[in-house]
Chain A
Amino acid sequence: MYFIGIDIGSTASKVAIRGKIIDEFVIPTGWNSKETALHIKNKLLKDFNINVLKDDSIIISTGYGRVSVPYSQKQITEITCHGCGIREQFDYDLCTIVDVGGQDTKVINLKDGFVDDFLMNDKCSAGTGKFLEIMANRLNITLDELFELSNLGEKIKISSMCTVFAESEIISLMGEGEKIENIASGIVDSVVVKVAQLVKRQGIQGDMILTGGLSTNKFFNKYLSEELETKINSYSKGRYAGAIGAALIAEDKYKKRGRV
């Protein structure tokens, strides 16, 4: 039996397989989620010899593109899936998960293994992965380079609340000849402060765990734990937390009632 979680995010699509095989892979989402779902289906067949249309695979889709997976048996939001996904690595009763995603940043409180409460950023990309992506593009560097540089620089305050205006602010700083390290440091700090605000609003209960695209970034973890004055556990498979959660939910549900 295969239990497959497919997490179609705004930038990347993550797939986790549990059951007879345990593996994960990621592909770019591209412009069409339906097409991405088709790619995933083909890849599962080619690389893992899993035919998703056959009865021995149970599939749950999640993420923004969750409705675009025609062969999934159920759709569950990424919030619930991230909550479940981390239990593979962490033994938790009580914890707070921070997932900095492409479009949204989520702070999820778990209690007794279930999502107890969550908070998401408002209709705005400040404080999300999108903000970092846009700013790195503007500086013509990669996300990793942005963090490496930020570690070498001194924080400049970026005061704009809005991504578009923050971009103009950065263009001005570049025009003034400001050191790129300092700009990078300012950009990262702006995201760290916004994420920390969201966490403070939601309240930390138990251990803090970082998931999502930035979960393996040592700088981000360091800055955020400094800002929150608390230790943050990184999850090496954090990027796959949503997909893993979806696969684990599929497995649980199937074992309990024979269907999802």
Chain B
Amino acid sequence: MIDIKKDLPEIFEDFAENRQNSFLKVREVKENDNPLIGVFCKFFPQELAIAIDGTAVSLCSTSDETIADAEKDLPRNLCPLIKSSYGFAITDKCPFFYFSDLVVGETTCDGKKKMYEYLAETKPVHVMELPNKQSKEGLVLWEKEIYKMIDVLEEYFGRKITKEKLEEAIKIKNAERTAVKDFYEIMKNDEIPVSGLELWHVLNGITFEFDKRAVPKQLKDLKEKIFSENEKITGKPRILITGCPIGGATEKVIEAVENHGGVVVAYENCGGAKAIDRNVEEDTGDPIRAIAEKYIEIGCACMSPNPNRMDLLNRIVDQYKVDGVIDMHLQACQPFQVESLKIKRFANNEKNIPYISIETDYSQSDIGQINTRVAAFIEMI
């Protein structure tokens, strides 16, 4: 069994209260000797972490605070998510990075893939090889990768991942996903009780709840509270945001929508519906196959072709009565940038609704332009 880190970084005192609290909260997890696995992507099957009584936490950073540090090692014209995340890793500024016992990468893009090689110099890193296609062969590869991941976890943490443990973990994650889905579906209503930004903060915040079993009740209570508060948003253009991961610095796009008279009713990005849409089949007798089948179906632009993204978008546009699609791209994120034409054709030609793509990074330098574009887009609706 490896030593699980329980101390705080030297720069702890420099952090704002918010981040200090995060450090303390995640240290509590460590004090119970529970493994913390830092991940970069929704493709990592979180059930595996739960099966060793651990937690998977997202290490995708969304602030430009550490980009300058990262640019010492990485090219400047790289995706801001990769730079920021790497920067947080090497500066001990992110509690989740700092306390991660193991970092798991996934080969979703070339930039990340190569970044993990440097990251491995500071942290133990395991990279799961993700197929490019949701094919039969792809599934075979992905299932093998999950077996390999299980071996790594068992050996690294000295805990056994049994079938029973996995079935239980599947049930826990399914309940969590169902609860999150049930929560964000409040936006299907004509009268919406929260703004899109508030919804986003809940969706994002809940991923940092380490006790996955507690999520359904928390969200149920929150939902009741929201509906009892009686705030109602109605009659505004209803916007869907899709594309690259959103959050942190790129909340500027959500704000631009809601400051100019629109409301974001749905997120198809990684942190939104994309990974939650489907559950893992329970009690199949082969939990690993069931997990592989669920996760490989995520409609990420790293898959080619990527019909599942279209399928999900299609359902969201109808169910949430979407009036316009904003496709947000992070600078230098080629898979999503190239796919943007497909999404535009789909929105304009098949769904007959306007589409706009917005490219941005983690700086605040383009807020003026984003506001003009988004405002004009909403005026058009």
Interface residues of A (CB under 8 A from B): 64, 76-80, 104, 114-118, 120, 122-123
Contacts and interface: CB of A to CB of B under 8 A. Distances in A.
Contacts of A123: 359, 366, 369
A104 B369 contact: yes
Interface string B340-381: 000000001000001000010000001011001101100110
B359 A79 contact: no
Contacts of B348: 117
A64 B348 CA distance: 28
A46 to B, nearest CB: 31
A118 B369 contact: no
Interface of B: 348, 354, 359, 366, 368-369, 372-373, 375-376, 379-380
A196 to B, nearest CB: 19
B362 to A, nearest CB: 13
| A interface secondary structure, majority | mixed
B255 to A, nearest CB: 15
A116 B372 contact: no
A76 B261 CA distance: 12
Given A77-B375, A78-B372, A118-B376, 15 more contacts: A64-B368, A76-B379, A77-B372, A77-B376, A77-B379, A79-B380, A80-B380, A104-B369, A114-B380, A115-B380, A117-B348, A117-B380, A122-B359, A123-B359, A123-B369
Nearest to B361: A123
Contacts of A104: 369, 372
B21 to A, nearest CB: 36
Most buried by B among A78, A116, A117: A117
Contacts, number: 35
Contact of A80 (B359, B368, B369, B379): B379
Contacts of B375: 77
B369 A79 contact: no
A75 B236 CA distance: 17
A118 B358 CA distance: 12
Contacts of B372: 64, 77-79, 104
Contacts of A117: 348, 354, 380
Contacts of A79: 372, 376, 379-380
A77 B348 CA distance: 22
A116 B324 CA distance: 12
B366 to A, nearest CB: 6
A88 B354 CA distance: 26
Contacts of A64: 368, 372
B26 to A, nearest CB: 36
A80 B376 contact: yes
A77 B379 CA distance: 8
11 contacts: A64-B372, A77-B372, A79-B379, A80-B376, A80-B380, A114-B380, A115-B380, A116-B354, A118-B380, A120-B373, A123-B366
A115 B376 contact: yes
A166 to B, nearest CB: 18
A115 B379 contact: yes
Nearest to B360: A123
B329 to A, nearest CB: 10
A86 to B, nearest CB: 16
A103 B376 CA distance: 16
Contacts of B380: 79-80, 114-118
Contacts of B369: 104, 120, 123
A59 B22 CA distance: 49
A242 to B, nearest CB: 12
Contacts of B366: 123
A49 to B, nearest CB: 32
Contacts of A122: 359
A123 B375 CA distance: 17
A11 to B, nearest CB: 15
B29 to A, nearest CB: 40
A116 to B, nearest CB: 7
Q: Which 3 A-B pairs have the closest CB atoms?
A: A79-B376, A77-B376, A80-B379
A63 to B, nearest CB: 9
A123 B372 CA distance: 13
A122 B348 CA distance: 21
A115 B376 CA distance: 9
B209 to A, nearest CB: 36
A102 B366 CA distance: 16
Nearest to A249: B379
Contacts of A120: 369, 373
A76 B380 CA distance: 11
Most central of B348, B366, B369, B380 by chain A CB within 10 Å: B380
Contacts of B376: 77-80, 115, 118
